[in-house]
Structure 1
Amino acid sequence: MGGVMNFIRQAKNKPEIFPLVGILGFAVSGAIFMSVHQARAPDVVWNHKDNKYPWQEIRDGEQVKLTTINQKYDSRWNRSHW
């Protein structure tokens, strides 16, 4: 507690510390929120009911990437259902 009280006493004389503390507090709280969120749900599943494993429906040669670099595909992938 001594360090926190010392910081508060010094902050009264230097008001330029308040925006830094606010930005740092926002960043730390956002990092904590995201780490808790990722720890509770580490995988991304868009549709839990129809197909839990959509990557098993992709055939060889289908283009499923948004950007392809130095790759050529014969067919284009289409989503059959939502």
Structure 2
Amino acid sequence: MFAGVQIAFAMLLTAAIFGLIMFGDVTAYQLLTKIEETASNSILAAVPLFIFMGAMLEKSGIAERLFHAIHLWTKRLPG
């Protein structure tokens, strides 16, 4: 991370290096299997769509109006 590498790649590189030291050649198979398993998870496909939706709501001003409406409805509730 101090070299300016993104956090995900820094963690991946650290895990790969220590895996090679501790477990040897089987680390490459385990690493590739875990990457393929995570990439094929269909639930994780929703994460970028939620981020995109939030960005669109913010840029269009709808989010601010929604927060204002919710505040009007819930201003008497504590918390």
**TM-score under structure 2 length normalisation:** 0.33
Q: Which has the higher contact order (CA 8 A, sep 6+)?
A: 1
Larger Rg: 1
Which structure has the highest strand share of the two? Answer: 1
